[in-house]
């Protein structure tokens, strides 16, 4: 089984979010299922620098405004197909944003080029059994394959991002004007790369069963809920996993290693030292995230006094909305709040290893990965009851505690009051050490790897192949 995975980012080469983690983990996870996966990426500077043994497998004299080649090679354990198109990708800084902090104006062309190259390579240069497309950046690949080629799967990592373009781009993006209709790729008078993928892909997946159901509803579907309902029979929710080799408290080189909840203590001491926090009577809560309204951090700011009043602490690593960054800096005037703006992989490991609890109060969350990292490290998750958060954390209800099954705290509805109440419940658990230890142990035993999900993807590919 040969599968071409098409993504705009892939860890550890280039990453802005969870999509990169998934694209980076899937090839190894699927190898055990007999799937040979190659990952097609844009030729960003970081990707070109990491590519080894690049062999030209495809050439285009004019790919969305300039010449391009597709190079086959490796980067560490990853088998890659890299679209070398300097006019589109040879830019420093963010892969999506220009120096002004706004989307590159030619993003529609940049990722249409990725999709076009994927369709061409999968047809002939590296004949694939299936093309697996990720999010809007690869959304036009199923459209380009409509006239012939292998079947396609589109995975929706976050339906909030559509990849819209002006109708004047129809020609330059190599689209058929007759498909610019509500039944096609038209979305409120714009060209939507994501909608094209949703309409023309042979099968759709998203990254958790609950999110798959949520996408049918107007409050989660971001204007595409009607399309999702129309294709409900072709949609599967397959839960993401994490790389349990990278995220393993017993072998993690970035922390004080441990293999049971009791081993967390030295990591907590180290984290407080790094973040400048004093000792405290309550739980040390951590956040590793983009700071956006979607992630619910405006709600956390409102609810934070409920944690601090119980002797709790907050250590946060993240960046995003400048207003939220400023608000958390202001909150850090309290000696029990520490904030680092930016992203630091080593510090992320330190936070998840050293924290008592990890907070993920998202308004919507297709899957979420940090709560699974928290489970792996015995860092009890407090999560909103939505998407993959609902699918991965078992609430510490009286019944779940009595059954010895609880792994964290769920909050619903997603608002400041219920979040403050959830933080109070977290502190109640913390103040009962035997119960807290049981929840930590359950968390560390929870399945968070890729084994089951890899089997589900392999089954989907096999069904398409036949």
| Residue carrying structure tokens 């009962």 | 432
Question: Are residues 1 and 458 in contact, defined by beta-carbon separation less than 8 angstroms?
Answer: yes
**Are 159 and 229 spatial neighbours (Cβ–Cβ below 8 Å)?**
no
Alpha-carbon distance of 169 to 190, in angstroms, equals 9
Whether 204 and 156 have beta carbons less than 8 Å apart is answered as: yes
At 358, which helix (H) or strand (E)? strand 357-360
Q: 3-class SS at 3?
A: strand
Number of Cβ atoms within 10 Å of the Cβ of 405:
16
Alpha-carbon distance 244 to 67, whole Å? 40
Element housing 236 (H / E): strand 235-237
Task: Tell me whether residue 15 is annotated as binding.
Answer: yes
Q: Counting beta carbons within 10 angstroms of the beta carbon of residue 440, is it exposed (0 to 12), middle (13 to 18) or buried (19 or more)?
A: buried
Q: d(Cα 68, Cα 70) in Å, to the nearest integer?
A: 7
Using DSSP, state whether 396 is helix, strand or coil: coil
State how far the Cα of 436 lies from the Cα of 357, in Å rounded to an integer.
11
Mark the binding-site residues, compressed into ranges. Answer: 15
Mark the binding-site residues for ADP-alpha-D-glucose, compressed into ranges. Answer: 15
């Amino acid at each position: 089984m040969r599968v071409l995975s098409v993504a705009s980012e892939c860890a550890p080469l280039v990453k802005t979010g969870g999509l990169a983690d998934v694209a980076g983990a899937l090839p190894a996870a699927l190898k055990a299922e007999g799937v040979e996966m190659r990952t097609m990426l844009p030729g960003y500077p970081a990707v070109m620098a990491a590519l080894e043994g690049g062999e030209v497998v495809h050439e285009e004299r004019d790919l969305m405004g300039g010449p391009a080649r597709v190079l086959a090679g490796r980067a560490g354990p990853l088998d890659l197909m890299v679209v070398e198109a300097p006019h589109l990708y040879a830019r420093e800084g963010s892969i999506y944003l220009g120096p002004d902090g706004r989307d590159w104006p030619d993003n529609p062309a940049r990722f249409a080029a990725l999709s076009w190259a994927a369709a061409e390579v999968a047809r002939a240069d590296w004949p694939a059994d299936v093309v697996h497309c990720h999010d809007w950046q690869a959304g036009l690949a199923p459209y380009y394959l409509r006239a012939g080629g292998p079947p396609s799967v589109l995975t929706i990592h976050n339906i909030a991002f559509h990849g819209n373009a002006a109708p004047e781009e129809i020609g330059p993006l190599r689209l058929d004007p007759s498909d610019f209709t509500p039944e096609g790729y038209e979305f409120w008078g714009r060209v939507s790369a994501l909608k094209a993928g949703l309409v023309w892909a042979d099968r759709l997946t998203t990254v958790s069963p609950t999110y798959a159901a949520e996408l049918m509803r107007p409050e989660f579907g971001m204007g595409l809920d009607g399309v999702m309902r129309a294709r409900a029979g072709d949609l599967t929710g397959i839960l993401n996993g994490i790389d349990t080799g990278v995220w393993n408290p017993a072998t993690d080189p970035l922390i004080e290693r441990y293999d049971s909840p009791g081993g967390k203590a030295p990591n907590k001491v180290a984290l407080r030292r790094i973040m400048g926090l004093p000792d405290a009577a309550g739980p040390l809560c951590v956040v590793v995230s983009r700071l956006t309204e979607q992630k619910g951090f405006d709600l956390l700011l409102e609810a934070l006094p409920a944690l601090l009043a119980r002797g709790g602490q907050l250590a946060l690593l993240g960046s995003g909305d400048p207003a939220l960054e400023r608000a958390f800096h202001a909150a850090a005037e309290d000696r029990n709040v520490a904030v680092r703006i930016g992203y630091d992989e080593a510090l992320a490991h330190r936070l998840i290893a050293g924290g008592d609890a990890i907070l993920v109060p998202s308004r919507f969350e297709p899957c979420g990965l940090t709560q699974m990292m928290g489970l792996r490290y015995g860092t009890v998750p407090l999560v909103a009851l939505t998407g993959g958060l609902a699918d991965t954390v078992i609430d510490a209800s009286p019944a779940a505690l009595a059954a010895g099954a609880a792994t964290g705290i769920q909050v619903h509805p997603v608002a400041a009051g219920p979040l403050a109440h959830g933080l109070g419940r977290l502190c109640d658990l913390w103040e009962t050490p035997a119960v807290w230890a049981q929840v930590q142990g359950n968390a560390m035993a929870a399945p968070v790897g890729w084994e089951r999900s890899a089997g589900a993807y392999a089954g989907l590919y096999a069904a398409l192949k036949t």
